[in-house]
Structure 1
């Protein structure tokens, strides 16, 4: 394949466009793009694998869905060059970008035939309440927030990434799906040129690993601690857990803004299914057809002990797949130290 020259926006509208949210995909079609692929999966939570078929199978099982969530690898997709990838600064979109680069390399498409258009968030005036902390990461930025003239201007002026930067994106995906998370953590802490999202990636991912204190006590992950703090001995739906103003709920929503709100009932299911600890009980909810209201949950005495005193062992909490590894897995006993490093116990 030869390299592309961007001289005619109308010609590029006939290219293959990749978007990571439905609003951007719709906007691209509104401005004239014909071949638009919307890749919807949120890879910042749940399993990711290097093998293409295994990845698709595990993502489908993770969401307990009969639909194929992985649209990137569908056989019906036409990968006519140039390929234009539209990406915001949201963490889930950046991970999807790494994977897309690897997939296009697998297809044999040269980096010279790929345009990656990166968009900063649109700045808004917003008053933050005193109880609402400033999150160290965000997942709310969308390409579609920018006006049409900005999108088309960026498209007209776009140039392919250098081979070196493109290779770095592929290596980031390789480290993301590795069973050993330490190379990814090292990349996040040290940084990789051209990928500023790494400064925030570990701040997010670290919230899902169990913690070890200086004294050696095993504690729940930050996310699970928030979850068990909001639970009580009264029956509550996932929606009721998340509604209301408090610092704890604000912290929970910062994480859910990246995972998607359906991760909340998903994680509650993990705890209710985890009979080893019997920390959370479950019963039918008021609305079987609504995921956030279909079941109700309450905390047991054992759950309070795990929340307040810590874990006796990793198996006290249900496993949670994250990228290529798992949290709370006795076979891969990763724990977060107070200074932010990940260690194998």
Structure 2
């Protein structure tokens, strides 16, 4: 397991998404942003649109996506903003999105997700956070692989979280069938899966010119926290010391996603984990920064890939 030599990047935790794309020309490139109707998703989409990309907002609620698309078009002058329904915990919805896509895809931002939810299961019995945050995005990216390959240099962005430090993927009981369910452990496991996906997808898809990186966007108050109580949020805000999160605006939270999706500085770079617009080092005990070694473990990444394929192939 290696983290690779970091690239010198002139952005930091306070940088905003529009700063990251300043001077870039994305005309002729096509992008999909899951969860692009709100939060950091809409700011990611806005930055891509501002640089000239054709952007599709893949959303559970098309009416919300349409509102966001109109607002993005008005603020950027780019009318090439589409909306398509995508429910990541419904494989039929994922398959329909993939089937409807035509032509190359240059940028896929796997941004949507749920966090710290009560125990919920899909009809297949899969734990909902893992199903939404990992399985759905895996099925989407795998289904769109031919379109990504056709772009000849596609970027896939896997939005993870510092919460991956809470749990590795527990292969013996991924879906909490035997162990007691704990919302944050389930969320952490799904976010570790997002990093492992970046590691293995880069290895498997490099010959297609597809590069995948993962990131922690930072602590941003959005609809993602809908299952988090006000007391929990207040405790997070009041924490002090090296483990405390630094709260960002949605525009700042989207910056690292946009960097991974667009920056020429990252040409040829894949399978890595970023935070605050920089490649992260290994996590040090007692901190909430950096990447856990288990999230970059190539054996775990390969095992997760095979386990995921088997899971999705099960009727």
Instruction: Compute the TM-score of the two structures, normalised by the length of structure 2.
Output: 0.33
Q: Which has the larger radius of gyration?
A: 1
Q: Which has the higher contact order (CA 8 A, sep 6+)?
A: 2
Instruction: Compute the TM-score of the two structures, normalised by the length of structure 1.
Output: 0.31
